[in-house]
Every structure is written in C-alpha cells, then in structure tokens.
Structure 1
Amino acid sequence: MNVKYHVRLSDDERSMLEALIKQEKPIIAQHKKRHAQILLAIDENHSPLTREQAAKAFNVKPLTICRLRQRLAEEGLEVAINSKHSRHGGKRKMDGELEAHLIALTCSAPPKGNARWTLNLLRDKMIELEYIDEISRSTIDESLKKTNLSLGRKKNGVFPRKKAPTL
C-alpha cells in the first residue's frame, strides 16, 4: 500500500509522546493519549504498524489513521496530538447575527403565493436582503435544527399545549 503522508518522528518527539502517554488520566484528555500512542505505533523509524494494523490495535477506523498522518504532516505534532478535528474546516457561515435574521425571517409570514417557508425560499430571501452573498440549503437546515423552529408549524418556536388528562 502506498502511503501519502509519512510519519518519521525524531528522538525528541518520541520522548515527548512517551512522556505524554505516561501522564495520569485527569491531566490529559484521552484522545490526546490515543493520538500519541497511534503516532508512536506508525512511526516509520521504528518498525511501524500498517494502517489496518494500527486501526485494529487502537479500535479506530483506518481513515482516522490517515487523517492523523495528514494532520501531522500538514499542521505539525501539536495539532496532531491536541486536536480531535483538523483545523482545515472553513469559517462558519452562520454566526449569531445571521441566525437571528434567519429566525426572524422564518417566524415572519411567507411570501405571497406560498403557504409556508421552504429552505429554498429562505435561502433566496436571505440573499435578496443581502444578509449573506451565498448560502446552502443544508446550512439553513442545520441552523434551524438547532432551534425549535419547524417550517411546517403554524406557531414557530412554541410547542402546542398538551391537553390535561380528564379524571
């Protein structure tokens, strides 16, 4: 198997990782300890495990091993150990202010000719009102899921009262 990102740790890096692993549990997060163990296991300078062997040994998916290799190569040892997720992710499109506009828009009356707001209508209206240059339906959907808003409800954000049981 051809490996795109190689892990070749220096003696100092190995010593640092080994010291990190020996620290007591409350001091270090478990994902950091696991990342350190994996990096030591796949270090090509010391009889490395293959991706599949490492994945099986540490009970992770082979893709996790690939991503850890990539993070080490592209972002360095500190990020590879400390980060659960790569720093490559883009800036969030929906900040608090934009979410407030979305919620206000969702709670308003839908455009004429429509019984309710749809994700496409919300996206188009937000772009038309110049709240944002472009946004996907899925981003709007994810934002709405974080709230109690439902596009199909008459009174958005308010749960209907349950009838009290009659005795």
Structure 2
Amino acid sequence: MSSAHKNLSIFSTDNLPDISEKRFALVVAEWNEQVTEALAQGAAKTLLEYGAKPENIVRANVPGSYELTFAAQKMAQKNDIDAVICIGCVIQGETKHNDYINHAVAQGLTNVSLKYDKPVIFGVLTPNTEQQALDRAGGIHGNKGDEAAITAVKMLAF
C-alpha cells in the first residue's frame, strides 16, 4: 500500500527484542534540514520508547543524502554499533539528480549492510515535492523516522 493511504507511524510491535543494551548510529543528512530533523527526532523518540538508552544512540550529520553511504560504512565498521539508521530526503526537482542519488544511496547502504552483517536502514524520503516530504516527516502520513527506527529494532531480532 502506498504511503498516500497509510500512516507511516503505525506498525506492528509484536515480538520486539530487548534493545536496552544495543547501540544505534543515527546518520542524518543536513540537506532539506526541516524534513531530516523531524525524521531524526522521530527515529530517536521511537528508539527510546522501545527501550534504547539515550547514551546508546550516537548521531552523526553529513551534508546530504549522497554522503550517507560513507558515514554508514564508518559507523557500521565500529564493533560497538549494532544498527545504523540513515535519514535523508531527496526531492525530485527539475532534473534527474534524484534518480542518480537515490539509486546510489540505496545500493550503497545495501552494500554496507551486507559487508558488515548489520542492519543499515534506508530512512530516506524520495518525494516529488516538499509538501510530500513534510507529510511524511510528522505530517498527515506520520513520520518515516519512526518507521526507520522500528525497522532497525526488528532487524536486530532477525
């Protein structure tokens, strides 16, 4: 179902693992900051709500979504990081830059996850407009940051 018909902050919480001793890296793109800050706050709030300790959430900022891959790799290679949550937003715009960036980031994060055998979560919005991004960053469709965080928690149980 498309997010146009779904609240991203509604998800199953059945059988979640204990994450009180797990460490999370939250990597956040600064580009489209109004959106990414809301997503990052949603992710952090969700991690705390389901048992993560504040001191076990490490945050790193990068200039834009393209840089998420490199930062995710730096975080994933750390032995004390259990999962990496990447937050970004690439709005379509007038050129095809979004196609190249989104593909590169998705492929890069997948590669990092497989290389380090850790959950690396794609919490990157790929909307057509700024309003669609805001709708998914705490607006009418909930917060994709919540979804990214709960995905990390669930993947730790896998």
| Larger relative contact order (Cα-Cα within 8 Å, sequence gap ≥ 6) | 2
Higher share of residues assigned helix: 1
* Short-chain TM bin: under 0.3
TM-score, length of structure 1 as denominator length: 0.26
